[in-house]
Amino acid sequence: MRRDNWAEEFYRNRGIFDRYNRARIDYLRRYLPEKKRDVFDLIPFLLHEDRADLPGNELGATPPSGVSCFSYSQHIRALVKRHFPWCAMERQAKRSLPIVFVALMGSAGSIAFTEESDMDFWIGIEASRHDPADIDLLKEKFRELERWAARTASLEAHFFIADLDRIRREDYGEVSHESCGSTLGKLLKDEFYRTGLFVVGRVPFYWLMPVGTNDTYYRDYIVKLEHVSDFPNDGYVDLGTIHRIEQSEYFGAALWQLLKGLHRPFKSVLKMALLDRYALGGDAAVPLCEEYKDMVLSAEGGGLDPYVFLIERLRAFYDAQGLAAEKRLVEQCFLMRSLLASGPALVADDERFAAFRQLGESWGWCLEELAGLADFQKWEPHQHEGLRKLIIAFLLDAYKRIRKRTQRSGVRISDRDLTVVGKKLVSFFKQEDGKVPFEHSLLGARDIAVIEVREHRDRRAHLGWVVELRARAGGRPRHHLSRRVPNPAVACAWCSLNRLYHNRQQVRIHGQTPLGARQAIALIEALDAFFPAEEADSLNIEELLSERYITHLYVLPNWDCPDSGHGLSSVLALYRTTMGELFFDSHGGANVTDWLFREVLAKRVGRAHMGELRWAVHVSKGAMSSTRVVSDRLASQVREFVRGVAGGVNPNYA
């Protein structure tokens, strides 16, 4: 078949895309510290190889390996020799190359990526061609590689299987940590084509096609290419095209962003703003990946940044709508997300900070205002609270606008996903007696310098306790957040639930309590290790869909007198439910054990779930032998009781 003009255009587009993609990879590598850069460069090699002596392959079985278009460059050979000197580089042809591409999803290769950003790798594979056991092996290899990256370079990497057939059909399954299931569809493909960075492997046919190619022409082009004898079809992958997004997707996606905003508020503001734009319809509903693709191909692939492009389009949208405050918040969240994630390293980097300064100044932000954003930790509490309220109000208002605009288009979210998202939101916001509250804070653990728990008398002279967080702010830590708690042990549970502690903080305890700073740290660390580190957007789906029940129980014996040598006089019970909530209750007196068995284990856990209950009894760090005896004795009694109830014994209790 003669090569027509359209084929020539495809070759041209591929060359432009390669230059654009390569420039983003170079930009990413340029700002990665050496160890993280080495890990990033080695990941395709480790996915390609199946040698048992390499990270990810020590599984006792061979996971699918082999990456399309992978080559052993001199740079890779040198890295392998440095990191795995025992590994002989032998070029052996692979029987198959099941991994079609390795791509990065998100901010990698853009101005929004920072040293602290994680890397989300999409591993393209035709899942239907592999046994489920092989897919499970590959997932286990991913987990091993994640641990290796963290151990080697403190790089937070995540690997997800990108099933090619499901991507083509915009079917991302039910809600899970990896995706948003029925709430996304084409929205996720739009983001993938707009921000995806292809590290190695086949390139999507999408990047060859003219802008605006519909499904019919897309299929016709692929069929034609199969008959062009000298066209390298094996260098491309069919993931489908995208020229419009149904309005029915926006409601479910907006619900999901409300949920994500609980833990990643700055990022969720940007994603909700995009949904706000799309839901308006008309020209605003054209997928941004199409507009961005047009810019890349027109600009010959140079000097473009997908995140700057996104923010500029959102600014223009709110400008046209006369929503100046919303536009300002979008700018602020974008700048703060990058400035805060990088911390002082970005401000000290003249070249990178200059890029943010130039961008901010073009939006009307003066240098003093940009410096103020970078010094977020130095803000007064009322400033933090003011921004937090602005973000919550924006998310809710945008959600209401989206819901109103899409009422007549139907809803593309399954009943199952709607139930899951709804329950997750309820688990976060609903307050109940004895519930340890979730915290919607704009600061994370690494921003907190001091955790202080102290006695406090209110205006009526009632004695209570307060836990305070002090943010890092140069010299003296500044007050950031205060919450009332019934006792220091619950303060520790609050810190653990909200993941506010790390081992470089100061912990201070002031007041009449036997719980000292060392014991408090040990308790927080024990709770962190015992209770699942799950946020509201990553809870177990099957458990959420069932009736709420207790899954974890942590018991603190003699919590108000930990060094008591007089036997068991009190217990504090901390228990977690399937909805991710953490509750507390306590009891003291002569019948402590009976209360724990009858009121907590028998009534609240119940016989039906006793057998699957995870439980533990706390032992204070550095505790005296008499205290350990009390803990060991209680643990033995709990073990016997749980086994008995699960086995049909102890009818008086259960």
613-636 mean pLDDT: 83
Sign of CA dihedral 45, 48, 51, 56: positive
Same domain, residue pair 308 and 454: no
462-470 mean pLDDT: 86
Q: What is the pLDDT of residues 598-618, one digit of tens each?
A: 999 999 998 888 988 999 999
Same domain, residue pair 237 and 143: yes
In the chain, the amino acid numbered 413 is: I
Q: Which of these three, 512, 530, 548, is where a domain ends?
A: 530
Within a 10 A sphere around the Cβ of 416, how many other Cβ atoms? 15
Smallest CA-to-CA distance from 49 within 104, 89, 22 is with 89
Q: In total, how many domains does the chain have?
A: 4
344-359 mean pLDDT: 72
Q: Which two tokens stand for residue 506?
A: 């100061």
Q: What is the pLDDT of residues 416-453, one digit of tens each?
A: 666 666 677 777 777 889 999 988 777 777 778 899 99
565-571 mean pLDDT: 82
pLDDT of 354: 83
Q: Which two tokens stand for residue 654?
A: 């259960």
Residue 153 CA to residue 494 CA, distance in Å, equals: 30
Q: Find where tokens 């700048």 sit.
A: 335
Q: Which of these three, 429, 455, 484, is where a domain ends?
A: 429
Same domain, residue pair 365 and 474: no
Same domain, residue pair 476 and 387: no
Q: Is the pLDDT of residue 330 over 90?
A: yes
Among 143-157, 456-470, 516-530, the range scoring the smallest mean pLDDT is: 456-470
Same domain, residue pair 237 and 258: no
Same domain, residue pair 88 and 3: yes
20 — pLDDT class (breaks 50, 70, 90): very high
Q: Is the pLDDT of residue 11 over 50?
A: yes
pLDDT of 21: 95
pLDDT of 93: 59
As a whole number, the mean pLDDT across the chain is 84
Q: Is the pLDDT of residue 243 over 90?
A: no
In the chain, the amino acid numbered 277 is: R
Q: Is the pLDDT of residue 4 over 70?
A: no
217-233 mean pLDDT: 87
Same domain, residue pair 221 and 288: no
- Provide the percentage of residues in the chain whose pLDDT is more than 90: 46
Beta carbons of 498 and 477 less than 8 angstroms apart: no
Same domain, residue pair 285 and 174: no
Which residues sit opposite 617 in a β-bridge?
Answer: 555
Q: What is the pLDDT of residues 26-51, one digit of tens each?
A: 999 998 999 999 999 999 999 999 88
Q: Find where tokens 């458990």 sit.
A: 543
Burial class of residue 250 (count of CB atoms within 10 Å of its CB; 0-12, 13-18, 19+): buried
Q: Angle of helix 265-279 relative to helix 381-405, nearest 10 degrees?
A: 30
Residue 140 CA to residue 514 CA, distance in Å, equals: 44
Query: 479 or 324, which is more confident?
Result: 324
Domain that residue 119 falls in: 1-243
Same domain, residue pair 99 and 223: yes
The SS3 call for residue 107 is coil
Query: Which secondary-structure segment (H or E) carries 485?
Result: strand 478-485
Beta carbons of 427 and 482 less than 8 angstroms apart: no
Q: Find where tokens 């139930």 sit.
A: 419
Q: Which of these three, 386, 401, 429, is where a domain ends?
A: 429
Q: Which two tokens stand for residue 608?
A: 């039906």
Same domain, residue pair 9 and 64: yes
pLDDT of 179: 43
pLDDT of 272: 96
The SS3 call for residue 501 is coil
Residue 526 CA to residue 554 CA, distance in Å, equals: 10
How far, in Å, are 272, 291, 536 from residue 187 at the CA level? 12, 14, 22
Among 57-61, 64-68, 597-601, the range scoring the smallest mean pLDDT is: 57-61
pLDDT of 245: 85
Q: Is the pLDDT of residue 368 over 60?
A: yes
Q: What is the pLDDT of residues 369-409, one digit of tens each?
A: 888 888 877 788 788 889 988 999 999 899 889 988 887 76
Q: Within 13 Å of residue 186, how many CA atoms lie on the same side as its CB?
A: 20
**Predicted TM-score (pTM) of this structure:** 0.81
pLDDT of 1: 38
Let me know how long the chain is.
654
pLDDT of 176: 41
Same domain, residue pair 49 and 178: yes
Q: What is the pLDDT of residues 171-220, one digit of tens each?
A: 765 334 434 444 567 888 999 999 999 999 999 999 999 999 999 999 99
Beta carbons of 637 and 551 less than 8 angstroms apart: no
In the chain, the amino acid numbered 8 is: E
Same domain, residue pair 420 and 491: no
Look up the CATH number of the domain holding residue 443.
Answer: 3.30.420
pLDDT of 413: 57
Q: Is the pLDDT of residue 543 over 80?
A: no
What one-character DSSP code corresponds to residue 202? P
In the chain, the amino acid numbered 536 is: A
Residue 213 CA to residue 216 CA, distance in Å, equals: 8
Q: Find where tokens 């309220």 sit.
A: 389
